[in-house]
Structure 1
Amino acid sequence: MKIALFSDIHANLPAFDAMLNDMDSQKPDMVYCLGDLVGYHIYPNEIIDEIRRRAIGTLKGNHDEKVESIITTSESLNEAGKKYAYHLINQGNRDYLKALPAHIRLEYKLNNNKLNLVFAHGSTRSIDEYILIDTEENYVLDLLKEADADLLFVGHSHKPYHRILQDANGEFKHVINLGSVGKPKDGDVRGCYAILTINNDSSTLVKESIKVEFRRVEYDVELSAKAIENSPLPNEFAENLRNAN
């Protein structure tokens, strides 16, 4: 079973198109998006339309959550709505963002053992919590136990990692941050997404039985940056793409 997961597109259509082309070549069995479809770029409708056309299971990110409250307040719209291009999102797509779930849970039965996968944008506790590679180990283990998660997939920080922790029962738990398709912050300008491979032998008792591949995808960063500079959005957003910060 191959599952493709991605997050934090942030309305960057050139990066998104490149990621989709690479992802399609991998022929995943399932695809999920962990949110933040919008913000920081000028193509929110194109991103949402393609997500909806493909019927990709999608979570609500913190930017997706902010759209409705900001777009309906004229004072806020002048300050934040236009800054992040929320005002470009059409009503149908705003309704779609508003209805997205906070979490997705998958439970597998493999050789009479269960394997629980939980997807969240920031964490299962908060949509805008950062779960980083160096977040305190006991805190993360408590979070996993609370969520009943053997594998926890998150986004939000835009910094990819696969962290393996061992709990008090000797089981191996996995936290995977998907990085960002459209706004990397780890110094690598290429978009990032992940392929999870599980099979009948995958187990929390065997550390290496969970396979996660991070795929970095090149796209025309300069074309994307110029599109921002030719729009009313702040030029710093273009520089962030060029510098991956």
Structure 2
Amino acid sequence: MEHLNPVSNIQIQHPDSMKIAFISDIHSNLEALKAVLGEIDKENISLIVNLGDLVGYNASPRECVDLVKQRQIISILGNHDRAAIELKFAEGFNILAYQALAWSAKSLAPEHKRFLKKLEHTRMLWDRFLVFHGAPGNPDAYLSFLFQAKKAFNYMRQKTPGVRIGFFGHTHHRAVWQRDVRGKVSRLEMSQDDLLLDPEQMYLINPGSVGQPRQRQWKASYLIFSNEPETIQFRSVAYDLHSAQAKIRAAQLPEYLAERLETGV
């Protein structure tokens, strides 16, 4: 698959006062996606951004792609999305992820794959936010450790100067990395779900996973960004877990994929 340009600016309205919902790692979990969108719809949200991995793991890949298309949600290419188009990109997956991804790929209709193929792995919102799946420029890379966060901040400073905030997914864990004016990078320990951002700092922010959270809790995770002042709010919502599990079992996907939804690992 040939990617589009690594950084592409999204031309959309930029209201002075806005709220953006960030979601990620839906992974074919329609019940979780519907629950999250239901909560988002209760607020005055200007835009919804999906940070990648619409498919894989769970049992509703077609329905999730259809809903994201229907809602005109801005979407980023995830590593599972790319592998659903060309299965060779799943060769490094663990066996359970590979089996589920192969099932997703077989289940998707040509129009679903065409939608995924049009997605880019790294994009900008206006000239203000960088949005990507794993690491900027690479949907397979992770931002889990300090050296990885430093590398991502360096990418932003070199490739997108002036952009202070990046949003990413892939790890299925909520996270906030910060780079201060002296260049010190650290991971913030969140004592509460809301955070006021410092306009002098750079940030890398992960909303957690909608469809397969891995923070030892099963509720679907997402995030709301508000402007004036810049704040983020981590949110979680219950969904019909048992229906999602039943679909996995009906599709004869690995049993562990159903069990892990309940344990959040």
TM exceeding 0.5 = yes
1:157 aligns with 2:176: no
Q: For 1:13, which of 22, 26, 30 is the aligned residue?
A: 30
Whether the 8 Å contact between 1:85 and 1:233 is mirrored in structure 2 is: no
Letter in 1 for 2:104: A
5+ residue gaps in structure 1? 72-78, 109-115, 200-208
Q: Does 1:104 align with 2:123?
A: yes
Change (3 A) 1:213 1:14: same
Change (3 A) 1:243 1:56: same
Of 230, 233, 249 in structure 2, the residue corresponding to residue 213 of structure 1 is: 233
For 1:14 and 1:54, the matched residues in 2 are separated by 16
User: RMSD in angstroms over aligned alpha carbons?
Assistant: 2.1
Sort the Cα spacing of 1:233 and 1:143 in 2 relative to 1 into closer, same or farther, 3 A.
same
How far apart in 2 are the matches of 1:198 and 1:181? 23
Check conservation: 1:37, 1:47, Cα contact below 8 A: yes
Measure, in 2, the Cα distance between the counterparts of 1:137 and 1:45.
Answer: 33
1:198 aligns with 2:227: yes
Q: Deviations over 1:71-103 (max 9, x none)?
A: 9xxxxxxx7476543211111001111111122
Counterparts of 1:130-209 in structure 2, within 5 Å, are 130-132=142-144, 134-135=146-147, 138-148=150-160, 149-168=163-182, 171-199=200-228, 209=229
The corresponding residue for 1:87 is: 106
1:239 aligned residue = 259
Q: How many angstroms apart in 1 are the aligned matches of 2:225 and 2:101?
A: 36
Distance 1:181 1:81 in 2: 17
Question: Offset at 1:139?
Answer: 3.3
In 2: Cα distance, 1:134 partner to 1:140 partner: 10
8 Å contact kept, 1:137–1:165:
no
What CA distance in whole angstroms lies between the structure 2 residues aligned with 1:159 and 1:30? 22
The 8 Å contact of residues 41 and 84 in structure 1, kept in 2 or not, is answered as no
**Contact 1:141/1:167 (8 A) holds in 2:** no
Offset from partner CA, 1:28-54 (integer Å, 9 cap, x none):
011111110000111111111111111
Distance 1:82 1:101, change over 3 A: closer
Map of 1:202 onto structure 2: none
Is the 2:100–2:253 Cα contact (8 Å) retained in structure 1?
no
Report the CA distance between 1:227 and its aligned residue.
1.7
Alignment of 1:60-71 (within 5 A): 60-70=77-87
Q: Deviations over 1:98-124 (max 9, x none)?
A: 11112221235xxxxxxx200000011
Moved more, 135-144 or 175-184: 135-144
Task: Tell me how far 1:137 sits from its aligned partner.
Answer: 5.7
- Supply the distance in 1 between the matched residues of 2:46 and 2:179 (Cα, whole angstroms): 27
CA apart distance, 1:228: 0.9
Q: Tell me, which stretches of 5 or more residues in structure 2 are unaligned? A: 1-17, 89-97, 184-198
Percent identity of paired positions between Structure 1 and Structure 2: 28
In 2, Cα distance between equivalents of 1:163 and 1:123: 13
CA distance in 2, matches of 1:82, 1:127: 16
Residues 17 and 219 of structure 1: CA distance in aligned 2, closer, same or farther (over 3 Å)? same
Does the 8 A contact of 1:133 with 1:163 survive in 2? no
Q: For the residues of structure 2 that align with 1:107 and 1:183, how far apart are their CA atoms? A: 30
Q: Is the 8 A contact 1:117 1:151 kept in 2?
A: yes
Q: 1:89 to 1:222 in 2, by over 3 A?
A: same
